[in-house]
């Protein structure tokens, strides 16, 4: 093989192709199992085997999040080397994330007002019991909650904003200590590299995990669930795709000058993982790898912007809230007016800051929004059945927004490797990623089988 041969050649299918095959196969199997309707399949195969493998895969991804964020962020902060630059990167990221969220929900509301889903909806037979609301926090509570009282507890519970705040403080302190921090920084760099290797190992099992997750979802969610709320599902899907392929791509082109088609090709693996897991936080390891190794953003930027975005950037969720609010307002015949919809936009942006990127969080945020504008929270029961599938799509939109902002910030800071961005094979995961270094393998063998000492004379 010549040096010019792409790294993926001769290695079989790339991981991305395998995951897409697993996703399509899971969809087909899920639809077939749903049509069969067998109790044995539902209990032992879907509820047993598929649920077990899917949960193990998602848990493995979540297992990586906290250590990856800790070590990559410390490396990023110390790699920037200038607290003023760190503040500039943080300011750009925060501003862009809030801007995209506000634009996303504004587009969703306008689109929903034009389509008017929910007009003439028949509430007969809809069970609205068991839906509970959640009071919206004040802006002061949101920002006060960023500072952890117990960092260890924050690590254990996965409170991403608190983790980010604490680790940044540690990184700044390491910078202030100068050369004395060199051993600590080198240890963090080693751990960061080690965690990326663990990411590669976990991702090798992705096709099977994605297959089980998708098959389970489509087995449990029948097509008949979509019929009563078809207008809502259609409006929401169009709004999500419009933001994904139009709004975000225009923003990327205008602010960075990069090719949107190349970007979408590079971020596809993270989108697939986001779709299958429906969790921005669980997708952090994959998003981080795509942004750094596929797109070419420097670790000093991506280590901050990716976990930060997974926590506060909820474009897809904001779109759902906008469409759902208009849908429920039409169902109940309530006119919110311009003031009501402006309140929805403000609430969605505020709620996105303090809400974790986990499956189903959109409904929790929606209860805050509905309570604020006076809509019956019980109406959420109308969209509960289809929310899981919609959550999968909007999570893919969320992490795409994270990657877009990360790329823009990296490009404007001169921290984007254009050679990596323009190389179609950069960062493609192959079997080589799981190879053991020959020298390390020899050391492991020597440790396992130490040479026998010579017999005493």
Own/partner pairs, 25-32, CB within 8 angstroms, 24+ separation:
25/211, 25/215, 26/210, 26/211, 26/212, 26/213, 26/214, 26/215, 26/218, 27/214, 27/215, 27/218, 29/211, 29/215, 29/218, 29/219, 30/214, 30/215, 30/216, 30/217, 30/218, 30/219, 31/218, 31/223
Flag whether pLDDT at 126 surpasses 80: no
**Contact, 289 vs 199, CB < 8 A?**
yes
Flag whether pLDDT at 173 surpasses 70: yes
Residue 242 pLDDT class (50, 70, 90 cuts): very high
Chain position carrying tokens 């004395």: 180
Flag whether pLDDT at 417 surpasses 60: yes
**Contact, 174 vs 78, CB < 8 A?**
yes
Q: What is the mean pLDDT of the chain?
A: 80
The candidate with the shortest Cα–Cα distance to 240, out of 360, 96, 389, 99, is 389
Residue 410 pLDDT class (50, 70, 90 cuts): very high
Residue predicted with more confidence, 135 or 257: 257
Per-residue pLDDT, 353 = 64
Look at 9-18, 265-274, 286-295, 444-453 and tell me which has the smallest mean pLDDT: 444-453
Token readout for 448 is: 């396992």
Q: How far apart are CA 326 and CA 334, in angstroms?
A: 9
Per 3-state DSSP, the chain is made up of helix, strand and coil in percentages (nearest 5) of 75, 0, 25
The candidate with the shortest Cα–Cα distance to 300, out of 73, 93, 67, is 73
Q: What is the pTM of this model?
A: 0.75
Mean of pLDDT values over 65-81:
80
**Contact, 206 vs 22, CB < 8 A?**
yes
CA 435 to chain centre: 28
Look at 3-17, 72-86, 324-338 and tell me which has the smallest mean pLDDT: 3-17
Flag whether pLDDT at 103 surpasses 70: yes
Token readout for 419 is: 């050679």
Flag whether pLDDT at 286 surpasses 80: yes
């Amino acid at each position: 093989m010549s040096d010019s041969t792409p790294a993926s050649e001769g290695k079989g299918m790339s991981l991305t192709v395998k995951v897409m095959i697993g996703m399509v196969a899971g969809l087909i199997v899920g639809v077939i199992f749903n049509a069969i309707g067998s109790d044995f399949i539902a209990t032992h195969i879907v509820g047993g085997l598929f649920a077990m493998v899917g949960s193990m895969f998602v848990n493995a991804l979540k297992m990586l999040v906290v250590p990856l964020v800790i070590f990559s962020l410390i490396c990023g902060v110390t790699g920037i080397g200038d607290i003023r630059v760190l503040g500039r990167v943080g300011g750009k990221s925060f501003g862009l994330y809030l801007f995209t969220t506000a634009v996303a929900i504004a587009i969703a509301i306008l689109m929903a007002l034009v389509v008017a889903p929910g007009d003439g909806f028949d509430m007969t037979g809809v069970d609205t019991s068991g839906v509970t609301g959640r009071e919206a926090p004040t802006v002061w509570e949101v920002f006060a909650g960023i500072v952890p009282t117990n960092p260890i507890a924050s690590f254990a519970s996965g409170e991403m904003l608190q983790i980010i705040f604490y680790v940044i403080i540690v990184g700044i302190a390491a910078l202030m200590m100068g050369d004395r921090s060199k051993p600590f920084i080198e240890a963090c760099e080693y751990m960061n590299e080690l965690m990326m290797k663990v990411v590669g190992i976990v991702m090798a099992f992705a096709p099977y995990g994605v297959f089980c997750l998708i098959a389970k979802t489509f087995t449990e969610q029948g097509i008949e669930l979509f019929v009563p709320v078809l207008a809502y599902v259609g409006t929401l899907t169009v709004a999500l795709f419009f933001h994904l392929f139009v709004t975000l791509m225009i923003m990327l082109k205008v602010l960075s000058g990069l090719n949107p088609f190349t970007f979408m090709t590079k971020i596809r693996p993270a989108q697939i993982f986001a779709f299958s897991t429906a969790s921005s936080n669980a997708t952090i390891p994959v998003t981080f790898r795509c942004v750094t190794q596929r797109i070419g953003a420097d670790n000093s930027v991506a280590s901050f912007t990716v976990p930060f975005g997974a926590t506060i950037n909820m474009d897809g969720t904001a779109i759902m809230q906008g469409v759902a609010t208009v849908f429920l307002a039409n169902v109940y015949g309530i006119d919110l007016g311009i003031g009501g919809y402006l309140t929805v936009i403000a609430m969605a942006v505020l709620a996105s800051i303090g809400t974790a990127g986990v499956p189903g969080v959109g409904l929790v945020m929606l209860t805050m929004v509905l309570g604020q504008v006076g809509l019956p929270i019980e109406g959420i029961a109308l969209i509960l059945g289809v929310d899981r599938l919609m959550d999968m799509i909007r999570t893919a939109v969320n992490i795409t927004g994270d990657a877009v902002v990360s790329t823009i910030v990296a490009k404007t800071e001169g921290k984007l490797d254009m050679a990596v961005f323009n190389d179609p094979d950069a960062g493609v995961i192959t079997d080589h990623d799981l190879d053991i270094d020959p020298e390390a393998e020899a050391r492991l063998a020597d440790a396992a089988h130490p040479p026998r000492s010579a017999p005493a004379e």
